[in-house]
């Protein structure tokens, strides 16, 4: 664990993820640097979140010769049989903006009744380390898709994703609050547990 603590690369160019993951590690006293925007893009051609997360982490670990952590995540909407899923970032097209993706989601769900708008965020976190087996951890967050966005925090589909028990969207939470419950924070916590287990076994 000490080894990666001092040298860990965040293999994502999504600034929303960078903020959340850096915040998560800062609470552990770790500083993690994100890959530069000029790093080569990894083609996300796998069929699962885990597959894409592993690919992103391993390609960046190889390119930079250091441990790399990647997140592949997305939104599964029950009324859409789990779509957009692994295609969440490209839902409205190859280089779609968050706003375009949110608009498409609202349009596709326009005729769906209040009781049928359940969904979940899924995150797969992969940690690739040169010469060691890659680790993968998962987290999910259940919620509900609104007909109109609320809030300005977070990124992606956050304004449309309601937490019914709080009557707040993810975009209405502070980063501390989001990291207290999010799919990504759960996956990161699980990853830390896996590293602690490794330490105990060695
Ligand atoms: O907490 C979240 N709050 C809102 N939306 C979210 C969240 N987590 C994932 N999402 C959405 C954003 C994007 O549409 C897709 C992730 O796609 P995904 O390929 O994993 O990320 P990305 O392309 O933005 O950055 P990168 O691949 O460099 O890590 O799911
Ligand atoms: Mg991506």
Return the residue whose CA atom lies nearest to atom 24 of ligand 1: 14
Q: Which atom of ligand 1 is nearest to the CA of 178?
A: 1
| Residue 14 Cβ < 6 Å to ligand 1 | yes
Q: How far is 49 from 122, CA to CA, in rounded Å?
A: 8
| Residue 12 Cβ < 6 Å to ligand 1 | yes
71 belongs to the catalytic site: no
DSSP 84: B
Check if the interface score ipTM surpasses 0.95: yes
Return the residue whose CA atom lies nearest to atom 20 of ligand 1: 72
Model confidence pLDDT, tens digit, residues 109-166: 999 999 999 999 999 999 999 999 999 999 999 999 999 999 999 999 999 999 999 9
Q: How far is 3 from 143, CA to CA, in rounded Å?
A: 37
Return the residue whose CA atom lies nearest to atom 26 of ligand 1: 12
List 45, 71, 72, 199, catalytic entry:
72
Backbone angles phi and psi of 120, in degrees to 5: -145, 145
Model confidence pLDDT, tens digit, residues 17-49: 999 999 999 999 999 999 999 999 999 999 999
DSSP, residue by residue, 17-37: HHHHHHHHHHTTT---EEPPT
- pTM (two decimals): 0.97
pLDDT tier at 186, thresholds 50, 70, 90: very high
| Pocket perturbation via mutation, ligand 1, pick of 17, 91, 104, 171 by most ligand atoms within 8 A of CB | 17
Domains, the chain, in order of start with CATH, read 2-201 (3.90.950.10)
Q: How far is 28 from 9, CA to CA, in rounded Å?
A: 16
Beta strands in the chain (DSSP E): 9-10, 33-34, 68-77, 118-128, 135-145, 161-163, 168-169
């Amino acid at each position: 664990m000490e080894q990666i603590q001092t040298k860990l690369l965040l293999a994502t160019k999504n600034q929303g993820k960078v903020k959340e993951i850096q915040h998560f590690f800062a609470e552990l006293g770790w500083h993690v640097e994100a890959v530069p925007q000029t790093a080569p893009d990894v083609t996300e051609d796998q069929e699962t979140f885990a597959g894409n997360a592993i690919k992103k982490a391993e390609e960046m670990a190889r390119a930079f010769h250091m441990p790399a952590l990647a997140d592949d995540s997305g939104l599964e909407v029950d009324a859409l049989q789990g779509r957009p899923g692994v295609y969440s970032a490209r839902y409205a097209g190859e280089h779609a903006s968050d706003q375009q993706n949110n608009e498409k989601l609202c349009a596709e769900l326009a005729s769906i009744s209040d009781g049928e708008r359940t969904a979940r965020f899924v995150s797969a976190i992969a940690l690739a380390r040169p010469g060691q087996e890659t680790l993968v951890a998962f987290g999910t967050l259940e919620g509900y898709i609104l007909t109109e966005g609320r809030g300005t925090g977070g990124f992606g589909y956050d304004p449309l994703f309601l937490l019914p028990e709080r009557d707040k969207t993810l975009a209405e939470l502070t980063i501390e609050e989001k990291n207290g419950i999010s799919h990504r924070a759960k996956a990161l916590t699980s990853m830390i547990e896996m590293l602690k287990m490794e330490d105990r076994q060695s």
